[in-house]
Amino acid sequence: MVRFQNVGMRYGMGPEVLRDVSFELPPGSFHFLTGPSGAGKSTLLKLLYLAERPTRGMISLLGEDPTLLPRRRLPVLRRRIGVVFQDFRLLPHLTALENVALPLRIAGGREEEIVAHVRELLTWVGLGDRMEARPPTLSGGEQQRVAIARAVIGRPSLLLADEPTGNVDAEMGLRLLRLFVELNKLGTTVLVATHDRALIRSAERPVLRLDHGELSRPGREAA
Amino acid sequence: MGRSVLGLRRSLAARLLPALIGIMIFIGLLALAAALAVDRAVESWSRNIDLGLTATLPDTAGAKVDAVVGMLRTTPGVAAARRVPQSEVATLLAPWLGSAAAAADLPLPVLIDIRLDPAIAIDQGALGAKIARMAEGARLDSHRDWIDQAVRLGRSLQAVAFLAVCLIAAAVAAVVIVSVRAGLAVEHDTIELLHLIGAQDGFIAAEFQEVVTRFAGIGGVIGTALALGAIMLLADLFGAAGATPLPKLGLGLQGWLALAGFVLAAILLARWVARLTVMLALRRMV
Ligand SMILES: Nc1ncnc2c1ncn2[C@@H]1O[C@H](COP(=O)(O)OP(=O)(O)OP(=O)(O)O)[C@@H](O)[C@H]1O
Ligand SMILES: [Mg+2]
């Protein structure tokens, strides 16, 4: 599903923020990615959702080498990847419903199906009564749930979440985690970047730990 | 999709683009209308002039006038020859000599109006020489020099007008490029997000294209309304100045169709330039 081999990454002329990163996510797996602030978690995810290119090393993603794909073929690959951005990146002038529907509309789905599907999911994440609200009028936690709904609406093969529970209380955090687990059971490969130790403990999934751009001992988080 | 994904109606210098395109369509329509009207006028002048000549004899010609008229009437290629009555000559010269001319008993030249048969070519040089032999001091005037000059002036005016139309098309393209580039910069993050969730460049280009087409359409309506008003007004002024030697100015059906075509072409140009600008810019994005 995903394989990194000796991947290095630097922003412009800056220092390497990822060094010799090698790991593999088998299809259908569920991993956490953790590490101190500035360790490079978001950067690693950017390589996975094709917002940045590695400066060295090899990446294999959903059976493709993204560095070799022509630009016009990237959208189809990206539609198979759901992303929850650390800063949400919702479109402020669209309603919650329109934001969540966007990936389906871009991919060209049937309008009635899209709306029914989006309503169902927003209700599931507890936003049934906020569907017509615009993101600036939503709380941080509500915006986060809209962002998560947008990431999972297209049933991605790979789900990448960057601090998806940073703005919600513990109970809602567990509820959202359950959404990821459900999706994982349906076959989606999941990678969740988080500082939240309680969340990591509760899920009992393998953990990748980044420190200063280097990956250390993959394994389970010690309790 | 009900609502535009990008907030382009706000970020594309929204108020400015329709106004700028409207102004350019207004100017372009006036230039084009002028070119078309001059074209028709020049054509009708040359057609009329080719069918007529004037022979001018000194007032001392006396009985020779009738001989010249008789000779002309039997010349092949001449459809009709008529002595212009002296009262008409006085009227024709009145603007230069004043209406007192006839009364003052000034020596007025004798004019013979000659209509030509367009089917038979005549040698004007030979005819002129023959008339001069029959009546000393007589001239044959084809107005050719005068009309050639007028035609040359008309053609120059036309060339300038068409150049203006081309420059206006270039200006429309430039205005669209500038405002689309500004929109791309303002919406950079949103466009990146759209790419990341799987949008093709064409999806994003379509957003710009639709907004620019709508703005150009609004500009087109405003510019056309203003230009029609101005053209009607000018036509009225020309109509009122009936006494001038200017031929009637008009556009004809073809002319009006050309004006409509210009407005449509300007809008389509704006639409196409918007798409091209976006597609080229997006090639450098993620
Ligand atoms: N766009 C950028 N340009 C330059 N440097 C960047 C950029 N984004 C991140 N960095 C740098 O790369 C390093 C890794 O940043 P990254 O955002 O990947 O960390 P992180 O592990 O996600 O941190 P956090 O837990 O705070 O989100 C940091 O030193 C950061 O300053
Ligand atoms: Mg981060």
pLDDT in tens, B148-182: 787 888 888 888 988 999 999 999 999 999 999 98
In this prediction, residue A221 carries a pLDDT of 46
Type and span of the H or E element at A24: strand A16-25
Mean pLDDT over the full length of chain A: 92
Looking at the domain assignment, is residue B119 inside a domain? yes
Q: Are residues B14 and B55 in the same domain?
A: no
Looking at the domain assignment, is residue B153 inside a domain? yes
Is the pLDDT at B116 greater than 90, yes or no? no
Domain ranges of chain A: 28-56+71-215
> Can you tell me the distance from the alpha carbon of A167 to that of B206, in angstroms, rounded to the nearest whole number?
35
Q: Are residues B196 and B251 in the same domain?
A: yes
**pLDDT grade, residue B10 (50/70/90)?**
low
In this prediction, residue A222 carries a pLDDT of 43
**pLDDT grade, residue B243 (50/70/90)?**
very low
**What are all long-range contacts of B61-67, with beta carbons under 8 Å and residues at least 24 apart?**
B61/B110, B61/B135, B61/B137, B61/B138, B64/B134, B64/B135, B65/B110, B65/B112, B65/B135, B67/B134, B67/B135
Neighbours of ion ligand 2 (CB under 5 A): A 41-42, 86
In this prediction, residue B113 carries a pLDDT of 87
Which residues from chain B sit within 8 angstroms of residue A78, using beta carbons? 195-198
**Burial zone of B118 (CB within 10 Å; 0-12 exposed, 13-18 middle, 19+ buried):** exposed
Q: What is the mean pLDDT of residues B40-68?
A: 78
Q: Are residues B151 and B253 in the same domain?
A: yes
CA distance A90 to chain B (A): 9
Q: Are residues B161 and B93 in the same domain?
A: no
Summarize pLDDT for B56-67 with one digit per residue, the tens.
888 776 778 888
B194/A106 touch (CB, cutoff 8 Å), yes or no? yes
Q: Are residues B24 and B159 in the same domain?
A: yes
In this prediction, residue B241 carries a pLDDT of 56
Domain boundary among B120, B141, B162: B141
**pLDDT grade, residue A223 (50/70/90)?**
very low
Summarize pLDDT for B17-38 with one digit per residue, the tens.
999 999 999 999 999 988 888 8
Q: Are B112 and B83 spatial neighbours (Cβ–Cβ below 8 Å)?
A: yes
Chain A to chain B Cβ contacts (< 8 Å):
48
In this prediction, residue B224 carries a pLDDT of 95
Is the pLDDT at A217 greater than 70, yes or no? no
Domain boundary among B118, B141, B164: B141
Q: Are residues B235 and B94 in the same domain?
A: no
CA distance B199 to chain A (A): 6
In this prediction, residue B239 carries a pLDDT of 66
Query: Does the A28-56+71-215 domain belong in CATH 3.40.50.300?
Result: yes
Is the pLDDT at B240 greater than 90, yes or no? no
CA distance A95 to chain B (A): 10
Q: Which two tokens stand for residue A146?
A: 């809209």
The enclosing domain of B55 has a CATH number of 3.30.70.100
> Can you tell me the distance from the alpha carbon of A172 to that of A165, in angstroms, rounded to the nearest whole number?
8
Q: Are residues B77 and B161 in the same domain?
A: no
Contact of B197 with chain A, judged by CB distance below 8 Å, is answered with yes
Is the pLDDT at B103 greater than 60, yes or no? no
Pocket residues: Cβ below 6 A from ligand 1 = A 11, 14, 17, 35, 37-43, 86
In this prediction, residue B49 carries a pLDDT of 67
Which residues from chain A sit within 8 angstroms of residue B283, using beta carbons? 71
Q: What is the mean pLDDT of residues A100-120?
A: 94
Looking at the domain assignment, is residue B238 inside a domain? yes
| Backbone phi, psi, residue B190, to 5° | -65, -40
Q: Are residues B58 and B190 in the same domain?
A: no
Looking at the domain assignment, is residue B2 inside a domain? no
Q: Are residues B210 and B124 in the same domain?
A: no
**What residue numbers bound the domain in which B130 lies?**
50-141
Report the separation in Å between the CA atom of B26 and the middle of ligand 2, taken as the mean of its atom positions: 54
Of the ranges A105-109, A188-192, B99-103, the best mean pLDDT one: A188-192
Is the pLDDT at B209 greater than 50, yes or no? yes
Looking at the domain assignment, is residue B3 inside a domain? no
Summarize pLDDT for A134-191 with one digit per residue, the tens.
999 999 889 999 999 999 999 999 999 999 988 888 888 888 898 899 999 999 999 9
Q: Are residues B137 and B172 in the same domain?
A: no
Q: Are A127 and A146 spatial neighbours (Cβ–Cβ below 8 Å)?
A: yes
A103/B198 touch (CB, cutoff 8 Å), yes or no? yes
Provide the number of structural domains found in chain B: 2
Q: Are residues B229 and B273 in the same domain?
A: yes
Domain boundary among B88, B121, B141: B141
Q: Are residues B119 and B211 in the same domain?
A: no
